[in-house]
Amino acid sequence: MPDEFGPAVTALKRKLEEQQQTVNETKKAINMLLKIAGKPPQFVDIEEATGIIRADQFYGKPLATAAQRYLELRGQACQPDEIVRGLLEGGFDFDMLGWKENDRVRSLSISLAKNNVKFHRLKNGTYGLREWYDEDFLRERAAAADGPQSRVKKRQTKGRKAKGPKLLPETKSRPAVDQTAQKEVKATM
């Protein structure tokens, strides 16, 4: 007998995932209000299992792509440890990057901060997609973060060559034996 209910089951599963996401967002909002009130979270399961990530969703994907898709899925800026958990839940292989298990959060933070074309770090330490934020605001914030002193410093160093070790002229850099031999040759002339 052919699987005539397959498409209906797939559609219902998709609808269930959307409903679970809505429920999870409501639970997070409740937890946030409780946190502000100084009370413990009521829904501790919400942070651990989102229920919206497939087990193979990020498998074989580059890090930036996987992180971007996770943030798109969440629809909000997230803490680096939350992104790491989400990527692991979706099958991302951190071992392929050579990252140690206890350095993953730090390494992810560094990678996202370096990729400022795609990602933006907020003051609260969360990362969001740069496209979510007003570009004029981001430029102003970057200029303010640089400050006037760093602009002056950039102007001062612009066009200068990097200083390296000073090399002595060839005659001064020879060993003392060569200098003694040269003196003896000059004395005999």
> Domain residues for 26?
9-52
* Residues 64-84 pLDDT 10s: 999 999 999 888 999 999 999
* Together in a domain, 101 and 134: yes
State the average pLDDT over residues 117-138: 93
In-domain check, residue 17: yes
pLDDT category of residue 16 using cuts at 50, 70 and 90: confident
Structure-token pair, residue 12: 């219902």
Report the 10 Å Cβ neighbour count for 108.
21
In-domain check, residue 169: no
* Together in a domain, 63 and 137: yes
Averaged confidence pLDDT in the chain: 80
Structure-token pair, residue 97: 């990057």
In-domain check, residue 19: yes
* Most confident of the following: 20-24, 117-121, 151-155: 117-121
State the average pLDDT over residues 8-24: 83
* Together in a domain, 79 and 129: yes
Q: Are 41 and 13 in contact (CB under 8 A)?
A: no
* CATH classification of the domain holding 63: 1.10.10
Identify residue 64 by its one-letter amino acid code. A
Instruction: Indicate the number of domains in the chain.
Output: 2
Q: What is the model's pLDDT at position 21?
A: 82
Query: Which pTM value belongs to this model?
Result: 0.53
* Together in a domain, 66 and 46: no
pLDDT category of residue 147 using cuts at 50, 70 and 90: low
* Residues 91-111 pLDDT 10s: 999 999 999 999 999 999 999
* Together in a domain, 47 and 61: no
In-domain check, residue 16: yes
Residue that terminates a domain, selected from 34, 52, 70: 52
* Together in a domain, 71 and 138: yes
- Least Cα distance to 135 among 120, 149, 148 occurs for 120
In-domain check, residue 78: yes
pLDDT exceeds 60 at position 118: yes
In-domain check, residue 73: yes
* Together in a domain, 35 and 105: no
Separation of alpha carbons 17 and 50, rounded Å: 10
State the average pLDDT over residues 125-132: 94
Residue that terminates a domain, selected from 52, 67, 86: 52
Q: Are 56 and 88 in contact (CB under 8 A)?
A: no
Query: What does the DSSP assignment read for the chain?
Result: ---TTHHHHHHHHHHHHHHHHHHHHHHHHHHHHHHHTT---S-THHHH--S-S-TTTTTT--HHHHHHHHHHHHTS-B-HHHHHHHHHHTT--GGGGT--GGGHHHHHHHHHHH-TTTEEE-TTS-EEEGGGS-HHHHHHHHHHHHHHHHHHHHHHHTTPPPP-PPPPPHHHHS-HHHHHHHHHHHHH-
